[in-house]
């Protein structure tokens, strides 16, 4: 039997041996980590996206609805969060945005396989990759 466990650790970088590193994630493995505004971290855990501060305190969470998954979080300079949402029933992936506190969900795209969202530096544009015609 094989098991993979991944956690997120944060260090101030002031100690060359990183002995001040602190684990800030718990539970499900964390395949994606991104910075959010105010030095918080965005983590993809299970089918949810969590915003946690460098001390490990949960600041907000976007939980997926039944038969869906949230993935690929990215923070924008204006505080918004962008992410991909997969709907299992339709086998589609679309791009969504939320407020910095993980509320106010708004769908941005209606494609079939829109992935890897990222905000422009001024946060006025969201870039993503349309993977519809790329082989799996």
The ranges assigned to domains in the chain are: 9-130
Domain 9-130 matching CATH 3.10.450.50: the answer reads no
State how far the alpha carbon of 17 is from the alpha carbons of 22, 24, 25, 54, in Å.
13, 18, 21, 18
Decide if pLDDT at 46 tops 80: no
The residues, ordered by sequence, that sit 6+ positions from 114 with a Cβ below 8 Å of its Cβ are 84, 93, 94, 95, 128, 129, 130, 131
Give the per-residue pLDDT at 108.
95
Structure confidence by residue, pLDDT tens digits, 76-96:
999 899 999 998 888 899 999
| Most confident region among 83-87, 98-102, 124-128 by mean pLDDT | 124-128
Distance of alpha carbon 127 from alpha carbon 114, whole angstroms: 10
Distance of alpha carbon 8 from alpha carbon 106, whole angstroms: 28
The residues, ordered by sequence, that sit 6+ positions from 67 with a Cβ below 8 Å of its Cβ are 87, 88, 89
């Amino acid at each position: 039997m094989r098991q993979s466990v991944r956690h997120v650790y944060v260090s101030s970088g002031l100690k060359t041996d990183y002995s001040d590193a602190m684990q800030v994630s718990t539970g499900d493995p964390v395949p994606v980590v991104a910075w959010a505004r105010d030095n918080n971290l965005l983590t993809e855990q299970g089918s949810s996206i969590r915003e946690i501060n460098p001390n490990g305190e949960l600041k907000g969470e976007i939980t997926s609805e039944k038969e869906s998954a949230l993935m690929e979080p990215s923070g924008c300079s204006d505080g918004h969060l962008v992410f991909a949402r997969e709907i299992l029933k339709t086998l589609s992936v679309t791009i969504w945005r939320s407020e910095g506190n993980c509320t106010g969900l708004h769908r941005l795209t209606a494609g079939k396989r829109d992935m890897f969202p990222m905000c422009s530096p001024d946060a006025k544009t969201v870039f993503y990759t349309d993977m519809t015609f790329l082989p799996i």
